[in-house]
């Protein structure tokens, strides 16, 4: 896929303009969006990604478009899992609902910046060292095993990291959020940080951890930096509105982490197999290609990703519905 500088610039300008519009809406009127408002924005962003994929199809062919859709779905799924951690952070720090929109938008911007850096680093490494795929694959398999063992995370499992604990000790933090800024003035006229600063530290470190998972995952689907970047951007767009749209539904997706474990494990194995098929590492098979290792086609990757997400979602909703009925029967007794 040959992407000219002009296409890169046009893409950055358009996506940047969309993000600026989002920023202006938040800056003008911080609020908790309604279901209708959230639904319209989520639909708009999903439609934008689908249309972009059609454009890729028309200009570069079905295989490249399939790589974009597979990458976007994978990153979107990881981002939804990221939302669940955001829910826990918001609850733990008791962030008022009217300020949560602003926190989420800043968190998404941080995620974009971090992922952009990781994409550039990953693309540079891959272009120079083919053996990086072995490392990416092993890391994804390790992450998948960790997700499968951990299961769904709840608020009791969340532990403040070392940066948050240090900030609590080193900084004067007020007990309330004041006017929703990072600083406020107390009754004695002394300026203090609000808990919003601690929330942003928590969100930023969470973004960093998720970026470490998401970038190897999408490089396992496509090596095109343009597709990696755009898939990540489209996956992050609309997450703020999706947070308010899903609401309690996030708590019902009990098998989402298990589904993501399957997807990451599959992509990890795919990376290792393709690294073996193109092997040039001297101490593996004498530096020769491994003949039995296949290249997994993009249609199969897309099928596995979509199928796993559907099964995980349906199974989660069925289990949640059964548990809700049991609780209702128990309450009636």
Domain chopping of the chain, boundaries: 5-332
Taking the CA atoms of 39, 151, 88 and 218 in sequence, report the sign of the dihedral they define. negative
| 223, 189 Cβ separation under 8 angstroms | no
Q: Render each residue's pLDDT in the chain as its tens digit; 333 residues.
A: 778 888 888 988 988 888 777 666 655 555 666 778 778 888 888 999 999 999 999 999 989 999 999 999 988 888 877 777 777 788 788 888 777 777 777 777 888 788 888 888 887 877 777 778 888 888 888 888 887 877 665 555 567 778 888 888 888 888 777 777 778 777 677 788 888 888 888 888 877 777 777 788 888 888 888 898 899 888 888 777 787 777 656 667 778 888 888 988 898 898 888 888 877 777 777 778 777 888 888 888 889 988 998 998 888 888 877 877 776 666 666
């Amino acid at each position: 896929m040959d992407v000219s500088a002009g296409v890169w610039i046009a893409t950055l300008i358009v996506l940047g303009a969309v993000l600026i519009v989002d920023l202006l809406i938040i800056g003008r009127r911080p609020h908790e969006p309604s279901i209708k408002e959230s639904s319209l924005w989520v639909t708009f962003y999903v439609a934008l990604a689908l249309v972009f994929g059609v454009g890729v199809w028309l200009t570069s062919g079905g295989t490249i478009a399939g790589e974009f859709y597979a990458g976007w779905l994978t990153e979107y799924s990881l981002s939804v899992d990221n939302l669940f951690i955001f829910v826990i952070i918001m609850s733990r720090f008791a962030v008022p609902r009217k300020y949560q929109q602003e926190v989420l938008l800043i968190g998404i911007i941080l995620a974009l910046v971090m992922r952009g850096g990781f994409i550039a680093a990953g693309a540079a490494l891959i272009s120079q060292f083919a053996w990086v795929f072995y490392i990416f694959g092993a890391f994804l398999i390790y992450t998948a095993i960790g997700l499968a063992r951990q299961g769904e995370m709840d608020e009791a499992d969340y532990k403040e990291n070392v940066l948050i604990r240090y900030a609590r000790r080193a900084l004067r933090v007020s007990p309330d959020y004041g006017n929703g800024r990072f600083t406020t003035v107390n009754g004695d006229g002394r300026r203090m940080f609000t808990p919003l600063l601690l929330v942003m530290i928590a969100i930023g470190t969470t973004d960093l951890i998720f970026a470490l998972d998401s970038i190897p995952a999408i490089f396992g689907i496509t090596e095109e930096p343009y597709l990696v970047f755009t898939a990540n951007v489209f996956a992050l767009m609309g997450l703020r509105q999706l947070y308010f749209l899903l609401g309690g539904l996030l708590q019902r997706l009990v098998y989402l982490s298990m589904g993501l474990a399957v997807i990451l494990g599959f992509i990890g194995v795919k990376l290792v197999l393709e690294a073996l098929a193109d092997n040039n590492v001297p101490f593996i098979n004498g530096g020769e290609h491994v003949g039995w290792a296949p290249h997994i086609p993009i249609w199969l990757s897309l099928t596995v990703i979509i199928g796993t997400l559907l099964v995980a979602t349906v199974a989660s909703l069925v289990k949640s519905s059964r548990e809700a009925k049991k609780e209702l029967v128990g309450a009636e007794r």
